[in-house]
Amino acid sequence: MRFLSALLAAASLVSTVKAHWLGEIKHQGYAPYTPAGYPVFRNVKDYGARGDGVTDDTAAINAAINAGNPCNRGCTSTTMTPAVVYFPAGTYLISSSILPAYFTQLIGDAANPPTLKATSNFAGFGLIDGNPYYTEVLNWKSVNVFFRQIRNFIIDTTNIPPATAATGIHWPTAQATSLQNIVFNMPTASNVVHVGLFIEEGSGGFMTDLTFNGGATGASMGNQQFTMRNFKFNNCKTAIIQIWNWGWTYHGLSINNCQVGIDMSAGGSSNLNVGSVTLLDSSFTNVPVAILTAWTPSSNPDTAGSLVIENIALNNVPVAIKGPSGTMLAGTTGTTTISAWSNGHRYTPSGPVEASGAINANPRPAALVSNGRFYTRSKPQYENLPVSSFISARSSGAKGDGATDDTAALQNAINSAVSQGKILFLDYGLYRVTSTIKIPPGAKVVGESFPVILSSGGFFNDINNPKPVVQVGSTSGQAGQVELSDFIIGTQNAQAGAVCIEWNLATSGTPSGMWDVHVRIGGYTGSQQQVAQCLKQPGSAAVNKNCIVAYMAMHVTKGASNLYMENVWLWTADHDIDDAANTQITLYSGRGLYIESQNGPFWLWGTGSEHHVLYQYQLANTKNIFMGQIQTETPYFQPTPNALVPFSPVSSLNDPDFAASCAGVSGNCANAWGLRVINSQDVLVYGAGLYSFFNNYSTACSTFTAGQTCQQRITSIEGSASNVNIYNLNTIGTREMLNRNGAQVAWYADNANTFASNIAVYKSD
Ligand SMILES: *[C@@H]1O[C@H](CO)[C@@H](O)[C@H](O)[C@H]1NC(C)=O
């Protein structure tokens, strides 16, 4: 009896320090394009890291990262060497930078996040340097850094003398990257110069759940665009320095006891570097100046420094917004809430009107809101579940080798996980499927470093008979809830009828969710939609049928409702990631994201849709949509051929036909829409970057000197529109920024920003 109770006590002791399931699960991710034995999963302790707070673990951690020779120093980019580098709980002392490879995820125990603690003589640009300067240029071209995550860490620079330069994470990256659940601990001495997060360039991106304690600057950042939410800043001198940007969306900032909240004054009034900032549902407490700007009615460029804020709580913030000549918006030594305010150009609905001052806050449909803020939910990591709650796709018989037909094995794995109430762990692999994979109500699927569900074969190659690759809910309006994270849906060879995701599910209560689930069409090994098959042909309007690779990226059908999307990138490749020169390729994917849900609600936090032929985002007959920094690009080959080639417009899908709308319109009118909204209401866009950089593969059209002539139009609001509002619309390469029922609303040259053209506030009515 005594023996048994001792055993039970020991067992419970063990269970209180139970490791995260990710460390425990059988590791059998398979990277088919690597030499035998390539490890997808690496536990840093298996490579000699101690995590005891005493031993210098730098070399061991970097050895774990570099096992199997992934894409690190000198490598252009890759999709062939995925890696999960897992850190059990502990304190890992490091004396120089951790240097994660391309396509490598650094993941700490989500239940007990490990600490990376710098030694006092730490040397390096970032405790984690996500893109090092081995030469005077970054190791990876920042706008091509995709598919990388860091999550569940405490980054600690407190051993480094406060006046010695130190950076927590250096992260110049692009789409489909994320930082999640990270605490930055820095000294609070008055002479501190430490910076928590540093980004100087790139094309992001998404981050959430970061806390910055101490330091000179919590986050110092320049990048084309980002969506960031749930950041806490405590006792930083300046919480955020915005170095440069085109558009940036912040939600849920909590800035406490900092001298300045957001400093967006870079460049000064004569040459502003910061394009625009959208800030909502945030709070400032004990902050003398919440926002510091250099915008004035006569600052340059004309619309740079555009700022829109909504639902901002102040508690002892004497100055809410400070400009070059003093207070622009007073705060309070007590408490108040700013409903909404903007500076920059307004079209409500016509303009431009240059103004700074209060605006009417967007009416928020109740369906989108929780506790007074737009609803949010971070990616679930299931850290409290035991490993027995997971079923592995490979243990269930799926091969993931990019060649075997895994349709039946993968479907069986999903079905058996659902019937047992378990989570499907999609071990790394490329799961080739030849008919639709059905995701039923109740499914939870978690990928390991972005495995791919890859459609293949004739079933998906009929342009007149489209088929879903992954179908969520078998009929439009089927009831149920699902949670999907960390995987990719793609297509192989010609797939002219492939709808990568069809979303049918109607969810009540907690929304269904997609987190870090991407559509990646072509440009990688296994897709056979690469340089060898689909090399760009500038000037040729002839279509190679082998390069018609998708019908639509994602279709949200009429009966679907209540879906939360976070960090979702629907990308048709413009270049081959696995080509050492990143050579450009011409692929034809018909449509990006199409939402025709009758009721909503849908949240799109940090989503992008790029290089689809007819449109990137189209909303029709829908309502209750939140979009927070959407980002689009037009196909580089257009207008050779234009958007009517090779997909004939389908009226039942409300496809644009560019017939009446382009009659008599000069320029490249029949080019892909960035955003098209038809007969919809309560569509609230908080930041949009709609870009057209190319014309027949030349960027010469995308500058102000060239007259932004890549295409004629990019944003269209058609039919009835009620409460269809856009904050900080940034367009590039298009002459007309926004059209209403075919008529031009805004002209690029009236709204010049740093590189884009910007409208701070557009309201449809
Ligand atoms: C497209 O670009 C190619 C290569 O630069 C050039 O030869 C061709 O004339 C261009 N075509 C058009 C229609 O501008």
Residue to substitute in 537, 637, 696 for testing ligand 1 pocket (most ligand atoms within 8 angstroms of CB): 696
Statement: residue 558 has pLDDT above 90: yes
Res. 11 pLDDT band, cuts 50 70 90? very low
Q: How far apart are CA 689 and CA 671, in angstroms?
A: 16
What pLDDT digit, counting tens, does each position of 27-59 carry?
Answer: 999 999 999 999 999 999 999 999 999 999 999
At 463 the pLDDT is 98
CA-nearest residue, atom 9 of ligand 1: 539
Ligand 1 and 539: CB distance under 6 A? yes
Q: How far apart are CA 221 and CA 227, in angstroms?
A: 12
pTM listed for this prediction: 0.97
What pLDDT digit, counting tens, does each position of 233-285 carry?
Answer: 999 999 999 999 999 999 999 999 999 999 999 999 999 999 999 999 999 99
Statement: residue 289 has pLDDT above 60: yes
Overall average pLDDT of the 454-464 stretch: 98
Ligand 1 and 538: CB distance under 6 A? yes
CA-nearest residue, atom 10 of ligand 1: 539
At 654 the pLDDT is 98
What pLDDT digit, counting tens, does each position of 439-448 carry?
Answer: 999 999 999 9
Which atom belonging to ligand 1 lies closest to the Cα atom of 697? 2
Cβ-proximal residues to 318 (8 Å cutoff; 6+ apart), any chain: 288, 289, 330, 331, 332, 333
Could you tell me the sign of the dihedral formed by the alpha carbons of 190, 195, 201, 207, in that order?
A: negative
At 18 the pLDDT is 66
Ligand 1 and 235: CB distance under 6 A? no
Region of 621 on the Ramachandran plot (φ > 0 left; ψ -120 to 50 alpha; else beta): left
Q: What is the 3-state secondary structure (H, E, C) of 42-107?
A: EEHHHHCCCCEEEEECHHHHHHHHHCCCCCCCCCCCCCCCCEEEEECCCEEEEEEEECCCCCEEEE
Q: What separation in Å is there between the alpha carbon of 637 and the centre of ligand 1?
A: 10
Region of 397 on the Ramachandran plot (φ > 0 left; ψ -120 to 50 alpha; else beta): left
Question: Environment class of residue 577 by beta-carbon count within 10 Å: exposed (0-12), middle (13-18) or buried (19+)?
Answer: buried
Q: How far apart are CA 335 and CA 320, in angstroms?
A: 12
Q: What separation in Å is there between the alpha carbon of 640 and the centre of ligand 1?
A: 9
At 533 the pLDDT is 98
Of 18-22, 68-72, 195-199, least confident by mean pLDDT is 18-22
Residue type, 539: G
Residue 736 corresponds to which tokens in the numbers above? 């007309």
Res. 17 pLDDT band, cuts 50 70 90? low
At 726 the pLDDT is 98
CA-nearest residue, atom 11 of ligand 1: 539
What pLDDT digit, counting tens, does each position of 510-554 carry?
Answer: 999 999 999 999 999 999 999 999 999 999 999 999 999 999 999
Q: What separation in Å is there between the alpha carbon of 541 and the centre of ligand 1?
A: 10
Q: What separation in Å is there between the alpha carbon of 203 and the centre of ligand 1?
A: 27
Ligand 1 and 537: CB distance under 6 A? no
Statement: residue 8 has pLDDT above 50: no
Q: What separation in Å is there between the alpha carbon of 672 and the centre of ligand 1?
A: 19
Q: Residue 315 phi/psi, 5° resolution? A: -135, 105
Ligand 1 and 540: CB distance under 6 A? no
Residue 103 corresponds to which tokens in the numbers above? 């396509």
Q: How far apart are CA 308 and CA 306, in angstroms?
A: 7
Ligand 1 and 695: CB distance under 6 A? no
Q: What separation in Å is there between the alpha carbon of 670 and the centre of ligand 1?
A: 18
Residue type, 153: F
Q: What separation in Å is there between the alpha carbon of 522 and the centre of ligand 1?
A: 24
Q: What separation in Å is there between the alpha carbon of 217 and the centre of ligand 1?
A: 47
Res. 660 pLDDT band, cuts 50 70 90? confident
Q: What separation in Å is there between the alpha carbon of 616 and the centre of ligand 1?
A: 25
Which atom belonging to ligand 1 lies closest to the Cα atom of 640? 13
What b/e string do you get for 201-231 counting C-beta neighbours within 10 Å, with b at 16 or more?
bbbbbbbbbbbbbbbbbbbbbbbbbbbbbbb
| 377 three-class SS | coil
Average pLDDT, the chain: 96
Res. 2 pLDDT band, cuts 50 70 90? very low
Statement: residue 13 has pLDDT above 60: no
Q: What separation in Å is there between the alpha carbon of 695 and the centre of ligand 1?
A: 9
Ligand 1 and 742: CB distance under 6 A? no
Overall average pLDDT of the 565-591 stretch: 98
What pLDDT digit, counting tens, does each position of 76-119 carry?
Answer: 999 999 999 999 999 999 999 999 999 999 999 999 999 999 99
At 12 the pLDDT is 44
Q: What separation in Å is there between the alpha carbon of 706 and the centre of ligand 1?
A: 17
Q: Which residue has the tokens 């499927």?
A: 433
Q: How far apart are CA 410 and CA 420, in angstroms?
A: 15
Ligand 1 and 372: CB distance under 6 A? no
Q: How far apart are CA 531 and CA 583, in angstroms?
A: 7
Ligand 1 and 74: CB distance under 6 A? no
Q: What separation in Å is there between the alpha carbon of 638 and the centre of ligand 1?
A: 11
Ligand 1 and 696: CB distance under 6 A? yes
At 7 the pLDDT is 47
Statement: residue 148 has pLDDT above 60: yes
Q: Please give the domain boundaries of the chain with CATH numbers for all domains.
A: 18-215 (2.160.20.10), 235-360 (no CATH), 399-613 (2.160.20.10), 642-765 (no CATH)
Q: What separation in Å is there between the alpha carbon of 87 and the centre of ligand 1?
A: 51
What pLDDT digit, counting tens, does each position of 642-658 carry?
Answer: 999 999 999 999 999 99
CA-nearest residue, atom 7 of ligand 1: 539
